[in-house]
Amino acid sequence: MKLALGTVQFGTEYGITNQSGKTSTDEIEKILEYAKGKINILDTAPSYGTSERILGINNLQGFNVVTKTPHINSNYISQQDIEIVEKCFYQSLQSLNLQSVYGLLIHNSQDMFKKGADKLFGKICELKSQGYIEKIGISVYDQTEIDWLDSLYHFDIIQLPINVFDQRLVKSGTLKKLKNKNIEIHARSIFLQGVLVNETSIVNSKLQGIIPLLNEYFSDLENSNLTRIEGALSYIKTIKEIDQAIVGVNDLKQLKQIYSTYLSIQDKEKHYLDYDKYSCNNENIIDPRKW
């Protein structure tokens, strides 16, 4: 497992526990400078506000950038929609100040369930054959999406949610199945939008149901002398199929803390918690779209 840097906070006020707002341009420059040689992948998207543009004014040499397609609002993917996606991709390259990207992910997986989805996939394959994209991917949420899409299309990268509470794709054997097909797995939401690592215990009113489980988990961490970041990263480390774990930060201090913890757990073979006991299937708790 390697760390990838999510950049949604660079362009928007993202995260249920985020009280500091959008990261400043100066702070982003410091974050990227520190990340060089430590983190390989930057994860961004046109929908992340000014993220791509801000990345583009920095030196991205040494980073592999993954960006995404815009959401398609219609129920049918027309030729006009394909042209919009293509235009948006070229705009991403221009904003990022790059000639090509490591990966282009279909951001809204539901787009691939629409009539005309084969045209969208065909256009992205064309961009790959032209050398603009190294790998084609998709961002998914659940087992049903993966099973259906994997039967119809070949993706090089699949980005999916995994964390201490959301263990569904691990327990179902889905990750092993994907890895057997040599698909690169990017784990997102490993901190559950900061809920699993936030020290001030800010919990949205819609998340009251998570409090008993959260309190039990935090208590077990404390009894095991583990920090909340150690707990979250140690769980991800146990999952051998994960290639990249995406972390988002608001400032350099957070990244330094996460990276130093990441290094320290590499030397620890023992895992101090029985993570199975925290597995939760309540989508109102583990799916941020429902918060």
Which among 291, 285, 289 has a CA at the least distance from the CA of 196?
285
For the whole prediction, is pTM greater than 0.85?
yes
Which among 243, 245, 279 has a CA at the least distance from the CA of 167?
279
**Cα 50 from chain centre:** 18
The pLDDT tens digits along the chain (291 residues) read 999 999 999 988 654 444 556 899 999 999 999 999 999 999 999 999 999 999 999 999 999 999 999 999 999 999 999 999 999 999 999 999 999 999 999 999 999 999 999 999 999 999 999 999 999 999 999 999 999 998 999 999 999 999 999 999 999 999 999 999 999 999 999 999 899 998 765 556 667 788 899 999 999 999 999 999 999 999 999 999 999 999 999 999 999 999 999 999 876 655 679 999 999 999 888 988 887
Q: What is the Cα–Cα distance from 70 to 45, expressed in whole angstroms?
A: 8
Q: What is the Cα–Cα distance from 164 to 177, expressed in whole angstroms?
A: 20
| CATH-assigned architecture of domain 2-286 | Alpha-Beta Barrel (3.20)
- Domain locations in the chain? 2-286
Q: What is the Cα–Cα distance from 7 to 11, expressed in whole angstroms?
A: 7
